[in-house]
Amino acid sequence: MKRGNIKLFHKVSIKSKFLMMILSTAMVCIAVIGFQGLHYGKDSLTKSMYDHLTSLKSARTQQIESYFQDKRSLMKTFSTEHTIIDAMSEFSAGFNLLDIYKVDIDKNASMRLNNFYENSFVEMLNENSIQEYSHTSLVPKKEVVKYLQYNYIVNNPVEVGKKDLLESAEDKSYYTEVHQKFHHTLRDIVKNQGFDDLFLIDSKNLNIVYSVSKEVDFGSSLKNGKFAQSSLAKVVKDVISHPDKGIVRVVDFKNYEPSYNTPQIFFAVPIYKGSEFLGVLATQITVDAINNITTGYKNWSHDGLGESGEVYLVGRDYTMRSDARKIIEQPEVYFSDINKIGLDKDSIKLITAIRSTVLNQLVRSEAVKRATEGDDGTVITRNYLGEKVLSAYAPLNLEGLDWSIIAEKEISEAEQPIKEFQKALLISSTILATLITFYAIWLAYSFLAPINSMANGVKNIINTDKFTKINLSRDDEFGELSNNIDKMIDTIKSQSKEIANKSKENDALLLNILPQSIAQRVKAGEKDIAEKVSNVAVLFSNLKGFDNLSQGLSSKESIKLLNEIINEFDNQAQKFGIEKITTIGDSYMAASGLMQPRLDYARKLAEYAHKMFFVIDDFNRRHASNLQLVVGIDSGEVMAGIVGEHKFVYDIWGESVNLANNISHQASLGTIRVSQSIYEQLINKDKYKKCSGEILTYETIPKDRVS
């Protein structure tokens, strides 16, 4: 280092040198740790995303394979059950009897059957189809089929989709007896085992002699009937060609016309009675059962798939075997997306009609191609909507079905945790650098900081109302002194709070005893408060009969009843703007115009007196009592002020007060008696009668309510 630089360095204060040393060391450490954290964190998050998709794909794979294995096991078990064997035998016999006796339906029934196909079935079928169907081509020609479909579908009072609720057609045929015998059990199998339908097909003509759901394939022949080329016919013919006991056949999803052209899967297994081949047991599964597994019952977020992730199945023809997430969750967004990617119009029409992507949504992603070739792994590719995705793929081990499973998530969302991690790391580094800077400054001034903190704390106590603690965490003498000051601050703060609470309690107590304006004068330190007030109406009331009511009651019960009356008097006084003065036992004293001068002070007090009688009437009704009230009212000039020093009260006195008291004692039970000065200010004078006596008074019996 050159001599000039050395001199310049020596001119820098030790505090500055200390700061530069700490900051330079900290920045280097932050840079090294940040780089390593970013590198390893990004790798860890990326691996975690791949592992999550792979794990989810494996879990769904196991669920799908277990599901189909369970269905195969159920089919194999049911084919050996006596109930199924007996049902196959008896339904075939019942069907053949109807055919042998050439049962038919009348003209009206035939017309209703035609109307069902034309106005109900074909209309919905055409909505879900590319080609246009005519009802005339679908109405069964064979009389036994017409007979069964009329009695169990058309003449079935239950709505479409719930035709299985009918147990008896009540046509007194042997077939109906068999149906009534077995239908309830077979329907429970469908309901409890998650099938959509169950069929019994005879081995000779491949007639569907029984169906739980009663769709338009019921009764038809899969050998030469309208649905002989259907997927159900295909799987049944496979069983007929190779009727090995216990071998369950399955056919892939295909649009099935009797189910309004929606995609269906069929299982089939032969039924034997001993060595005799009776027929075929077939079951039907809709895409909903598959969707429940692939979507985790629509709990994508719970499965860690976020906003865009999903699991779906694809067949060897590169079309879906389960529904896309968006068509379930956001159908309008999905339809907008497939229009943008140029999916063919027929597929769009079918997807829109049946609200399903099965067999219609083409998926030619790299993941599907690899899975179709038998590979299992992960890849970044484009999905069926052209979005860049992170995809985990694998072929499924399903006998008779060549499917693949795909678990994927959009890259933009999958990489969001990495971006958030980078952002968080940058923010953390910035914050850490800032904190270290301040921390270095703090260290440089650490010797002065304790003294400054304690000095400022003492100044706050002296100059302000704030009680901020010093909170100096040290184990030396400064720390001990700081703790003592903090304890002093706590003591002062606690005492100040207690003083404030006591002040509030005293204010509340004072307002309960004194009017607000008088209370304020007392708080201000004024003594010997007294004043002369003109134009004040004074009321005295006496409650008669309360002593008798109290007999036999405890003191607690008695005071509760008295408080009920007095409290309601107080409530009404507030409503009428009347000032309560005091109560003595069951006597009540109030005034109007005392604290706030008013022109209607006499009338308001008279109205309040009427209300007091209705308070007593209501009390008598509720308690089955017979209390009586008398009220006396006078007006004039009164003296008001605080009486007493230690146990003070606010009281009024004067000639008007005495006269009102005397009048109340002269009044008859259940009446209001007023002086001449009150009477002259009343509006309803006609309701008051003049009373005899030395003092001119007037009396009334309250009858009309005061609202």
- What's the whole-number mean pLDDT along residues 492-498? 71
pLDDT of res. 463: 62
Produce one character per residue of 644-659: b if its CB has 16 or more CB atoms within 10 Å, e if not.
Answer: eeeeeebbbebebbeb
Q: For the segment 6-60, what is each residue's pLDDT rounded down to a tens digit?
A: 556 566 666 566 667 777 776 777 776 666 655 555 666 678 888 999 999 999 9
pLDDT of res. 234: 97
**Sorting pLDDT into bands at 50, 70 and 90, what band is 499?**
low
CB 263 within 8 A of CB 359: yes
pLDDT of res. 491: 73
pLDDT of res. 705: 42
Strand partners of residue 313 = 405
How far, in Å, CA of 60 to CA of 57, rounded?
Answer: 5
Question: Beta-carbon neighbour count of residue 486 at 10 Å?
Answer: 18
Positive or negative torsion for Cα 220, 223, 225, 227? positive
**Sorting pLDDT into bands at 50, 70 and 90, what band is 264?**
very high
CA atoms within 13 A on the CB side of 68: 24
**Sorting pLDDT into bands at 50, 70 and 90, what band is 489?**
confident
pLDDT of res. 377: 94
Query: Domains along the chain?
Result: 80-288 (3.30.450.20), 290-417 (3.30.450.20), 455-501 (no CATH), 516-700 (3.30.70.1230)
At residue 447, does pLDDT exceed 90? no
User: Would you state the structure tokens that stand for residue 399, as one six-digit string?
Assistant: 């006998």
Of 288, 356, 358, nearest in space to 317 by CA: 358
**Sorting pLDDT into bands at 50, 70 and 90, what band is 646?**
low
Q: For the segment 294-314, what is each residue's pLDDT rounded down to a tens digit?
A: 999 999 989 989 999 999 999
Q: For the segment 80-125, what is each residue's pLDDT rounded down to a tens digit?
A: 999 999 999 999 999 999 999 889 899 999 999 999 999 999 999 9
How far, in Å, CA of 449 to CA of 458, rounded?
Answer: 14
CB 632 within 8 A of CB 662: yes
At residue 2, does pLDDT exceed 70? no
Q: Are strands 587-592 and 579-584 parallel, antiparallel or unpaired?
A: antiparallel
Q: Are strands 628-643 and 530-544 parallel, antiparallel or unpaired?
A: antiparallel
DSSP 578-643: PEEEEEETTEEEEEESSSS--TTHHHHHHHHHHHHHHHHHHHHHHHT---EEEEEEEEEEEEEEEE
Expressed in percent and rounded to 5, the helix, strand and coil fractions of the chain are: 50, 20, 30
Which run of H or of E encompasses 32?
helix 14-79
- What's the whole-number mean pLDDT along residues 548-574? 92
Q: In the chain, pLDDT over 70 holds for what percent of residues?
A: 82
pLDDT of res. 315: 96
CB 248 within 8 A of CB 269: yes
Q: For the segment 270-279, what is each residue's pLDDT rounded down to a tens digit?
A: 999 999 999 9
Question: Beta-carbon neighbour count of residue 661 at 10 Å?
Answer: 17
pLDDT of res. 706: 40
Work out the mean pLDDT of the chain and round it to a whole number: 87
How far, in Å, CA of 460 to CA of 84, rounded?
Answer: 93
Q: Is 403 helix (H, G, I), strand (E, B) or coil?
A: strand
- What's the whole-number mean pLDDT along residues 245-261? 95
Of 369, 366, 375, nearest in space to 396 by CA: 375
Strand partners of residue 549 = none
Q: In the chain, pLDDT over 90 holds for what percent of residues?
A: 64
How far, in Å, CA of 101 to CA of 131, rounded?
Answer: 37
pLDDT of res. 3: 62
| Contacts of residue 190, Cβ cutoff 8 Å, sequence gap at least 6 | 164, 196, 197, 198, 212, 213, 283
Q: Could you tell me the pTM of the whole model? A: 0.58
At residue 682, does pLDDT exceed 70? yes
At residue 179, does pLDDT exceed 50? yes
CA distances 447 to 370, 461, 470, 670, Å, are: 70, 23, 15, 87
How far, in Å, CA of 130 to CA of 211, rounded?
Answer: 27
Q: For the segment 197-246, what is each residue's pLDDT rounded down to a tens digit?
A: 999 999 999 999 999 999 999 999 999 999 999 999 999 999 999 999 99
**Sorting pLDDT into bands at 50, 70 and 90, what band is 707?**
very low
pLDDT of res. 658: 93
DSSP 687-702: G-EEE-SSS-EEEE--
pLDDT of res. 547: 87
How far, in Å, CA of 243 to CA of 192, rounded?
Answer: 27
Q: Is 446 helix (H, G, I), strand (E, B) or coil?
A: coil
